[in-house]
Amino acid sequence: MTDTPREDPAQAVTGMVDHVLELAATWTHWDGTPAHADDRVHTPHKAIRRVADHLVDHLAELEARLAGEAPQPDHWHASMVTTRADLAPFTQEDLDEARSRLLRLARIWANRLGALTDEQLDRSPGEGWSFRELAVHLRGSTYYADSVGDLS
């Protein structure tokens, strides 16, 4: 990866979630028209789903690798699929649920990453990116929220 190797990985994850939730706070104004970017359909619910799925997927990878296991392959449909639930209005209650879900996931990530040494972050067991690189990769999850945008 091209990012600074000494970057704080927990900040990469928590900062991403903060950015997503800042945008999500404007989505209760969504008029139901999906956004289109990169041949994909984007909606508020889909953005939250994809961010949460990305956090869960890579957390499962990190934990498996720490346990000396091969990560379980994912079977997400990712952003290629837009479900009926993705097209639902995004209410204040949905925002509250998204905050609870994403802030808890970010905290789990921050706690886990904070418990690892620099050696473990940079020379992580198993195949794939180092755990520091993995956390920095998660920052790219802002793509889903940015595709919906600020709807104030």
Q: Express each pLDDT in 98-112 by its tens digit.
A: 999 999 999 999 999
80 falls in which pLDDT band (50, 70, 90)?
Answer: confident
Percent with pLDDT over 90 in the chain: 90
- Global pTM value: 0.93
Q: Which residues contact 109 (CB under 8 A, 6 or more apart)?
A: 10, 13, 14, 55, 59, 135, 138
Could you count the other beta carbons within 10 Å of the beta carbon of residue 48?
A: 26
Determine whether 127 is exposed, middle or buried from the number of CB atoms within 10 Å of its CB (0-12, 13-18, 19+).
exposed
